[in-house]
Amino acid sequence: MKAKIIVTPKKAVLDPQGKTVQTALEHMGYSGIGAVHVGKYMEIELTGTDKEAARKIIDEACHKLLSNPVIEDYRFEIE
Amino acid sequence: MNFAVLQFPGSNCDQDCVHVLRNVFGHSARAVWHKDASLGEADAVLIPGGFSYGDYLRTGAIARFSPVMQAVQQFAENGGLVLGVCNGFQILCEAGLLPGALIRNRSLQFRCEHVFLKTVTTDSPFTNRIPQDKLLCVPIAHGEGCYFADEATLAKLKANNQILWRYVNAQGEPTESANPNGSLENIAGICNERRNVAGLMPHPERASEAILGCADGKLIFESLIHALQNKSAAKAA
């Protein structure tokens, strides 16, 4: 199994990277560009087969280490 | 006094802190390796600047799980004085010993320059010797020093007088242009509610000797030492 985790900055948090990418896209001439948020994508290989147990572990790991709940949100899927 | 100066892989201001405490102030200072589960004999803990664990994942995120940080948690819970500088501030926020977080500078640039700090309150073990109206000239050197906290946390910081330093201009005003990293309300350093744990992004250990061009950082260490002396005098009495 594999956990695919996406960590993004919270809406209220300043995201200068996202803002800079947004400006660059606009300068390149792309139209219809709205706010850009730059986050992180992580893959974790899992040796077990119990999806529910893995979900519990990954959720805890996201909360404790992989994201900082003060500034980031996370979501993940197990496949 | 005995100071424990933590050392993580990637710390790079640890020796500066040890030097200042030993050679400028004449106190005992020891480096404590991050794998040590005990701080040994320590009156105060300093978490120095640097790039612990290469700043992987987030600044300070990995360091907070080091064995020595368990000892620091316990030390702080017992009322011990803990000061984090730069990466040390980031580690303390990640560890939950200080509220909020430090994120990428608004400019996206690493800023390395001298700044002016205004001490917001002298009511803390880290600011008690700083004259109220004195601006401190201290260097910063960081890419991720933008202090963030949600509204409720910020309100609490203010209500409890936990903001210790703000970035200001030469006139002492917390202007937008005096803010080197986009920190909320120009916050450069804070303490916890109990006032025994503090962190700041600027480097007082790099400004504690006149030969370095500025010795204002000494006032922060002097405050800490003064608080420790008062503490030990109270214990002896």
The answer to whether B111 faces chain A, any CB pair under 8 Å, is: no
Contact residues on chain B for A17, CB-CB shorter than 8 A? 104, 108
Name the residue of chain A whose CA is nearest to B63's CA: A65
Are residues A17 and B104, on separate chains, in Cβ contact within 8 Å? Answer: yes
Name the residue of chain A whose CA is nearest to B184's CA: A14
- Could you give the angle at the alpha carbon of B69 between the alpha carbons of A59 and B48, nearest 5°? 115
Burial profile B93-107: b = 16 or more Cβ within 10 angstroms, e = fewer = bbbebbbbbbbbbbe
Q: Find the range with the poorest average confidence among A10-14, A54-58, B20-24, B161-165.
A: A10-14
Q: Give the Å distances, CA to CA, from B212 to B27, B47, B204, B215, B223.
A: 20, 22, 11, 7, 20
Residues of A with CB under 8 A from a CB of B: 9, 12-14, 16-17, 20, 65-66, 68, 70-71
Q: Give the Å distances, CA to CA, from A16 to A44, B78, B166, B169, B193.
A: 28, 39, 21, 23, 30
pLDDT of B24-34, one tens digit each? 999 999 999 99
Give the type of residue at B6. Answer: L
Active site residue B146: no
Q: Cite the DSSP H helix spans in B67-203.
A: 67-77, 87-94, 151-159
Which residue in the list B17, B86, B146, B191 is annotated as catalytic?
Answer: B86
Which residue of B55, B57, B110, B154 to mutate against A (max A Cβ within 10 Å)? B57
Q: How far is B27 from chain A (nearest CA, A)?
A: 36
ipTM of the complex: 0.87
Q: Give the Å distances, CA to CA, from B25 to B64, B114, B217.
A: 29, 23, 12
Per-residue confidence at A14, pLDDT binned at 50, 70, 90? confident
pLDDT value of position B159: 98
- Could you give the angle at the alpha carbon of B109 between the alpha carbons of B106 and B110, nearest 5°? 115
Q: Distance between CA atoms of B204 and B218, rounded to whole angstroms?
A: 7
Q: Distance between CA atoms of B79 and B235, rounded to whole angstroms?
A: 13
pLDDT value of position B111: 97
Active site residue B86: yes
pLDDT value of position B236: 86
Tell me the percentage of chain A whose pLDDT exceeds 70. 100
pLDDT value of position A12: 87
Q: Cite the DSSP H helix spans in chain B.
A: 14-19, 67-77, 87-94, 151-159, 218-236
Are residues B182 and A16, on separate chains, in Cβ contact within 8 Å? Answer: yes
User: Which of B93, B100, B108 is closest, CB to CB, to A17?
Assistant: B108
- Could you give the angle at the alpha carbon of B219 between the alpha carbons of B170 and B198, nearest 5°? 95
Residue with tokens 């330093």: B165
Q: Distance between CA atoms of B198 and B109, rounded to whole angstroms?
A: 25
End-to-end CA distance of chain A: 5
For chain B, which ranges sit under pLDDT 50? none
